Amino acid sequence: MGVSTIDGTLEEAVLRRAVGKIRIYDRLKFRLADGSEKSIAKSIVDGDVGAALVPGTSGRFYLFTAFDHRGLHGIRDSQGNCVFGYPRNNEKALLILAILGFALVAVAILVYGGISLLGLGVMILGIVGYILTRKTRAEATAQFEADNAYRPGGTTIAAQA
């Protein structure tokens, strides 16, 4: 789990499907500055960031890897435009899972006088998954905000001054 960046040009973006505000890509292929290629398979991207994923776009691309998926959370292109969006679908789903697990445990205690092991397992899975996913989103946000001085070509505002 963590965050990273790619400086280069997007050569190919193969969209598998769009569901709500989420875009799922089979493959994102980048050409790096040294001429090498890097591909990222099965990427989850927020719709705002997905709209900016046009082949030929060059700049810095911000990546994340969560415990259950990976994808792109931001772009700063060579034209000076930037877009950020972290896909929160799994974070919300895991929070709902934790609440449902808690509800199962509560119902089991009230109705049967004992704890539901299924409910307890679902609640723990939901809580741990939510915490890990939220941590990755916080890292992604911090990474993008900390790189605010980035300018195309690998320079920063301070280096230009």
Domain ranges of the chain: 2-86
Which tens digits make up the pLDDT trace of 46-75? 999 999 999 999 999 999 998 778 999 999
pLDDT number for residue 124: 96
Q: Is 62 strand, coil or helix?
A: strand
Mean pLDDT computed over 26-31: 94
Task: Evaluate if pTM is beyond 0.85.
Answer: no
Report yes or no: 25 and 39 within 8 Å, Cβ to Cβ: no
Buried b / exposed e across 93-125, counting CB within 10 Å, b at 16+?
ebbebbeebbebbeebeeeeeeebeebeebbee
Percent of the chain with pLDDT over 90: 73
Q: Is 34 strand, coil or helix?
A: coil
Fold of 2-86: OB fold (Dihydrolipoamide Acetyltransferase, E2P) (2.40.50)
> Cα separation of 50 and 116, whole Å?
41
